[in-house]
């Protein structure tokens, strides 16, 4: 089983990535278990932040690293909160506060359309000249009242009209099939298989 370090300490992400990477016989080790601090995320794009996190985790662990940068982009807010999704309401990061701020900011707008973005980066080492990079989107809309107990972050407010459910109402297996992260992982897995 190949070990890779996951450049995240988010328990929800760790569960989702482990479930998806079990198929490739990868052992996912969260960076926190190795005493690796979080990387700086100073960039304005998901891809740049994911690359910075992957290189940081690989350098500190001497292992291949996988990092994602993901968030939600509200169409009426010109893509905000975007890369600031986890700390939209400020420090410390708090899902409830972030969701309240997003609902408040959208109040009075006609367009509640939104999409999740996931940028995934895999590096073989900290200086990998050919990182594998995938970016995907998952479209829905924001609702004012939360629904569902699964998921995390903005999931209880992210409504999928075709399914008449929020992301938090989906069974985790179903969510992994259709979510931004699930789409990105499938594409990355196919790139990893092609490279081997």
Domains (range + CATH), the chain? 2-195 (3.90.950.10)
The b-or-e profile of 85-106 (16+ CB within 10 A means b, else e) is bbebbeeeeebeebbebbbebb
Q: What is the pLDDT of residues 127-174, one digit of tens each?
A: 999 999 999 999 999 999 999 998 889 999 999 999 999 999 999 889
From the CA atom positions of the chain, what is the Rg in Å?
16
Residue 100: pLDDT over 80? yes
Nearest to 9 by CA among 36, 32, 39, 26: 32
Nearest to 30 by CA among 10, 48, 44, 45: 10
- H or E element at residue 74: strand 65-74
Instruction: Identify the pLDDT of residue 167.
Output: 97
Strand partners, 35: none
Residue 6: pLDDT over 80? yes
What's the mean per-residue pLDDT of the chain?
Answer: 93
Instruction: Identify the pLDDT of residue 14.
Output: 81
Residue 177: pLDDT over 90? no
Residue 114: pLDDT over 80? yes
- How many angstroms separate the CA atoms of 131 and 108, rounded? 42
Least confident segment among 34-38, 50-54, 108-112, 192-196? 192-196
Residue 16: pLDDT over 80? no
What pTM, to 2 d.p., does this model score?
A: 0.90
89 and 99 Cβ atoms separated by less than 8 Å = no
> Cα 162 vs. chain centroid, distance in angstroms?
22
Pairing of β 165-166 and β 158-160: antiparallel
- How many angstroms separate the CA atoms of 7 and 55, rounded? 9
Task: State what percent of residues in the chain have pLDDT above 70.
Answer: 99
Instruction: Identify the pLDDT of residue 61.
Output: 97
- Residues assigned a catalytic role: 69
Cβ contacts of 95 within 8 Å, gap of 6 or more: 152, 153, 154
- Per-residue pLDDT, averaged over 33-41, amounts to 92
pLDDT category at 188 given cuts 50, 70, 90 is very high
Q: How many residues make up the chain in this entry?
A: 196
């Amino acid at each position: 089983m190949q070990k890779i370090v996951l450049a995240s300490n988010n328990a929800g992400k760790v569960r989702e990535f482990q479930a998806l990477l079990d198929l490739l016989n990868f052992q996912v080790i969260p960076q926190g278990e190795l005493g690796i601090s979080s990387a700086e995320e100073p960039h304005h794009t998901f891809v740049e932040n994911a690359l910075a996190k992957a290189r940081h985790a690989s350098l500190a662990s001497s292992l291949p690293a996988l990092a994602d940068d993901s968030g939600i982009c509200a169409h009426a807010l010109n893509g905000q909160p975007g890369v600031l999704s986890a700390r939209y309401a400020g420090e410390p990061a708090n899902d409830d506060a972030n969701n309240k701020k997003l609902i408040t900011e959208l109040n009075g707008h006609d367009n509640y359309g939104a999409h999740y973005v996931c940028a995934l980066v895999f590096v073989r080492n900290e200086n990998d000249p050919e990182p594998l990079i995938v970016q995907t989107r998952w479209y829905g809309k924001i609702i004012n009242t939360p629904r569902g107990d699964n998921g995390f972050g903005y999931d209880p407010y992210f409504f999928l009209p075709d399914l008449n459910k929020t992301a938090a109402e989906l069974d985790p297996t179903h969510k992994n099939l259709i979510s931004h992260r699930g789409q990105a992982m499938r594409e990355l897995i196919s790139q990893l298989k092609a490279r081997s």
